[in-house]
Chain A
């Protein structure tokens, strides 16, 4: 991969990707991640921000062995659908876990990790990944 796009493309999502901020519909109460302008349950446009806890359970997972360019360095890596305790499902990489030990319903928590680097210009993207909770 060559040069990244404008840095602004990445920093405009700091809130979501660093802190896991979603949206909650004031009318029907549905919680969304990523946040939406329009509720996909009731069509309302009245939204408020909601801080998600970052705790959830694995509902499906895969091991990516032929990644899209830019992610070759990390392969193979586990990627999962996680149902957050507030309801929404989120797609994220799992980290600090042996791929053999991933199970349906496994509890996980959000952590901030490096997502990828762009070689030439050196921009580094961070964001959420999920790991088994540290007890």
Chain B
């Protein structure tokens, strides 16, 4: 198997881009990444997107984006794995390079969520639940996460205040990221005073509905050399893992373990030949504060039931032992669902290149973890400075 390295990254700011279409967001991020890598053509395009059909009445995103980015008659497809679509697209792109089938691959993650009413956005997102048995009963993703949050708090004795610390940390870091949707630090009280959207989950426990696109260019070290890309810009995709769990939350064997993340992380660690102690920063999936706690447990940074302790001890800050969400995470950077996994990859790559606005000193290895559904479809990717 060949090695795969990221040689270019690009993004659009995350926000409510009412004046910009899905295609323009995707093309902008993609061209930024190609410019960063100093290339003008690629062998193939993988588009991470969750739900463009209901949101903007457009599918066939492979053709749409490759066509409008002027990439010629290349193969191009959309990869869908709910909110983990971006993480899955990065892995599919890396697999194509590692297998030897393609030499230079572009991956773009894009989502345009603000062209519909909020209640419709809530409905479309819930298509990734077990819709017949969850959405049918009026369950939104927020509601499903709230059920887990209450159960977690009850089981381990945590308070709403404890979980709010994850949102506070995300906003502190997001404030320094020019591409983040929210660039303002918040206090615990801000979270606690925000309205309940599904008790005990509050507005500030949740990531926003938003738009955005991010892209990476992946190739082999040999090709990167041939293209004359300086080594400081290479970031190796060292480990990859992906797994599913029951799509229906009620059918989960253990409501408080993200088993899919656990399995995916084990696979990624094994492939990269590292363990959790080697990881310098974690870009995990904090679509809701409760998911940040469970994710830390699933990737091995904390024992079962101890994820929220890391926040209380200050270990998730940039200077802590387990820095997370260094560019704001889903909560403050924003969560354009199908694009999120690619944003995480871009942000981790910038950290490893030493170019992050909120730099983790001497970061060498980063982990990204991207959750689809209520923990039903999860990717874990390990990136390493070359």
Chain A residues in the interface with B (C-beta under 8 A): 1, 13, 32, 34, 40, 59-72, 74, 77, 79-81, 88-93, 104, 115-116, 125, 127
Cross-chain contact B138 with A115 (CB below 8 angstroms):
yes
- Nearest chain B CB to A54's CB is how many angstroms away? 15
- Taken together as a complex, chains A and B put the C-alpha atoms of A71 and B197 apart, in Å, by 14
Are B137 and A91 in contact (CB-based, < 8 A)? Answer: yes
Question: Are A79's CB and B142's CB within 8 A?
Answer: no
Shortest B279–chain A CB gap in Å is 31
- Nearest Cβ distance between residue A23 and chain B, in whole angstroms? 12
Q: A64-B140, A115-B137 are in contact. Are A69 and B117 (CB under 8 A)?
A: yes
Q: How far is the CB of B156 from chain A (nearest CB, A)?
A: 13
**B59 within 8 Å of A (CB atoms):** no
B299 to A: closest C-beta gap in Å: 24
Instruction: List the A residue with the shortest CB-CB distance to B140.
Output: A68
Cα–Cα distance between A80 and B199 once the two chains are bound (Å) = 11
Are B147 and A62 interface neighbours, CB within 8 A?
Answer: yes
Distance in angstroms from A59 CB to nearest chain B CB is 7
Pick from B122, B195, B248: contact of A68, CB below 8 A. Answer: B122
A-B contact pairs, 8 of them (CB 8 A): A61-B147, A66-B142, A67-B119, A68-B119, A69-B117, A81-B250, A91-B133, A91-B248
Please, how many angstroms separate the alpha-carbon atoms of A115 and B126 in the complex? Answer: 16
Residues from chain B with a CB closer than 8 A to the CB of A34 are 132-133, 248
**Which of A62, A71, A88 counts the most B-chain CB atoms under 10 A from its CB?**
A62
CA distance A1 to B344 in the complex (A): 34
Contact (Cβ within 8 A) B251 A66: no
- Report the minimum CB–CB distance from A2 to chain B (whole Å): 11
Q: How far is the CA of A3 from the CA of B199 in the complex (A)?
A: 31
A35 CB, min distance to chain B CBs, angstroms:
11
A92 proximity list for chain B (CB < 8 A): 137
In the bound complex, residues from chain A placing their C-beta under 8 Å from that of B117 are 69
State which of B118, B138, B150, B255 has its C-beta within 8 Å of the C-beta of A74.
Answer: B138
Closest 10 CB pairs of A and B: A68-B123, A62-B146, A69-B119, A60-B151, A71-B138, A89-B250, A68-B122, A62-B198, A91-B250, A60-B147
Bound-complex Cα distance A68 to B148 (A) = 19
CA distance A34 to B136 in the complex (A): 13
Partner among A13, A81, A93 whose Cβ is within 8 Å of the Cβ of B138: A93
The answer to whether B280 has its CB under 8 Å from any CB of chain A is: no
Chain A residues with CB under 8 A of B107: none
Given contacts A63-B196, A90-B250, contact A69 B137 (CB under 8 A): no
A66 near B147 (CB under 8 angstroms)? no
- Shortest distance between the CB of A60 and any CB in chain B (Å): 4
B21 contacts partner chain A, Cβ-Cβ < 8 Å: no
- Chain A residues lying within 8 Å of B120, measured Cβ to Cβ, are 69
A14 to B197, CA, bound (A): 31
Question: Smallest distance from the beta carbon of B21 to chain A beta carbons, Å?
Answer: 23
> Considering the chains assembled together, what is the distance between the CA atoms of A115 and B134 in angstroms?
12
* Nearest-CB residue, chain B, relative to A10: B136
Q: Is the CB of A127 within 8 A of B137?
A: yes
Pair B251/A72 contact, Cβ less than 8 Å: no
Interface contacts beyond A34-B248, A66-B119, A79-B137: sample of 15 additional A-B pairs, CB < 8 Å, sorted by A:
A32-B251, A60-B151, A60-B154, A60-B255, A61-B147, A64-B138, A64-B142, A64-B198, A67-B138, A69-B123, A74-B138, A79-B143, A79-B147, A80-B147, A81-B255
